[in-house]
Amino acid sequence: MADRADSGTGRLLRAAARRGAGRWAPGGSAARGVPARSVRTRGRAIAALAVVTAGLLAFHRAVPNSVGRAGSLLESFLPWLGLVVVGLLVPALLRRSATALVALLLPVAAWTHLFGGLVLPGAEPGTRDLVVVQHNVSDENPDPAGTAHALADARPDLIALQELVPRALPVYERTLAPHYPHHAVRGTVGLWSKHPLTGTRPLDIRPRGITADWNRGLRTVVRAPHGDFAAYVAHLPSVRVGASGLASARRDESAGLLGEAVAAEDLRTVVLLGDLNGTVDDRGLAPVTSRLNGAERGFALSFPAALPLVRIDQVMARSATVGHIRTLSATGSDHLPVAARITLG
């Protein structure tokens, strides 16, 4: 009798083991310490993060600026949200989650809509094109002559410079003079040109509370072969990122003054070159970016030079097309120079 009982008990134990194997199979979800029922829900957290990322890309203007200027801070680094998608893709593949993979299509689509065009190759140069260079040369640049030679090697028609200090200005003038016979300097900004300049005047973009000797803008007329246009060179106030968020009030006020000057410009074609201390996506520059076109191709991240994260050196235009924009080799500045091709008319 005992043998029969033991035999029956053995059969029951073996049956229970077989049933448990289905729930805790080697290599299955249970073998990894996750109940089998979680297979149906795995990847939901990844999918949720993907949806949030897509929302930030598509509706970044909805992020309020009232606290720490969070909206402007997000928009300054908006293209980098693409790395979030890459970071989420790896765990989605490892978890084999169809839900997460489908959700990741949302931020991919949003990023492509916003920035996909920038990665496309630029058009071939045309007969009405001008090459321009924009560079904040830094007031601490140890090699202004080398910087000037490096910029001239790109053979642009125009070179716009900011942070020109008295000790370095004669070096730039002397070095650039052989190839750029026309130049204008007002305060700490200047423009060197292969074509004649006329009607040069300072551009008052001082925020309230700035002393009278602060001059970081100029306006001039370039007598180009295919027609005259107004050229603006500007250096907007710096911004700071701290524990309280983005401090950009003075930059934003100066951008408003610059936008008003562009709106009042009588000449149809306007070209702006400058260190605007903000990206074209930053709503703080809306008074400018709403009136001028940015580059159609290229990211050209220009700051900081050691590890470029953002492009705050801008080339923009009205009634003209800014084609491909690119960075040039590093100089003695903490910014990288940017070069762009502008098609007039």
Looking at the fold, whether 194 and 82 belong to one and the same domain comes out as no
d(CA 119, CA 324): 10
Looking at the fold, whether 32 and 156 belong to one and the same domain comes out as no
d(CA 327, CA 306): 13
**Alpha-carbon distances of 236 from 37, 103, 230, 325, rounded to whole Å:** 57, 40, 19, 20
Q: Look at the block and give the residue holding tokens 């959700």.
A: 103
Looking at the fold, whether 49 and 195 belong to one and the same domain comes out as no
Residues 6+ apart with CB under 8 A from 151: 133, 135, 159, 176, 328, 331, 337
Spell out where 137-226 has E strands: 158-162, 182-186, 189-193, 197-202, 217-224
Q: What pLDDT score does 22 carry?
A: 46
Looking at the fold, whether 143 and 80 belong to one and the same domain comes out as no
CATH number where 212 lies: 3.60.10.10
Question: Which one of 59, 88, 118 terminates a domain?
Answer: 118
Looking at the fold, whether 324 and 220 belong to one and the same domain comes out as yes
Question: Which class for 22: exposed (0-12), middle (13-18), buried (19 or more C-beta within 10 A)?
Answer: exposed
Q: Across the 345 residues of the chain, what is the mean pLDDT of every consecutive 10-residue run? A: 53 52 46 52 90 97 92 96 95 92 96 93 77 98 98 97 98 98 98 98 94 91 95 96 88 98 98 98 97 95 97 98 96 98 91
Question: Which one of 66, 84, 118 terminates a domain?
Answer: 118
Looking at the fold, whether 224 and 107 belong to one and the same domain comes out as no
Looking at the fold, whether 57 and 132 belong to one and the same domain comes out as no
Looking at the fold, whether 67 and 26 belong to one and the same domain comes out as yes
Looking at the fold, whether 211 and 268 belong to one and the same domain comes out as yes
Looking at the fold, whether 166 and 305 belong to one and the same domain comes out as yes
Which residues constitute the domain of residue 8?
2-118
d(CA 246, CA 244): 7
Q: What pLDDT score does 74 carry?
A: 96
* Three-state DSSP class for residue 164: coil
Structural domains counted in the chain: 2
| Cα–Cα nearest to 321, from 126, 114, 116, 76 | 126
**Alpha-carbon distances of 208 from 5, 250, 252, rounded to whole Å:** 96, 8, 12
Q: Is 138 left (phi over 0), alpha (psi -120 to 50) or beta?
A: left
Looking at the fold, whether 299 and 277 belong to one and the same domain comes out as yes
| Cα–Cα nearest to 61, from 12, 17, 97, 110 | 110
Looking at the fold, whether 75 and 159 belong to one and the same domain comes out as no
pTM: 0.86
Question: Which one of 73, 102, 118 terminates a domain?
Answer: 118
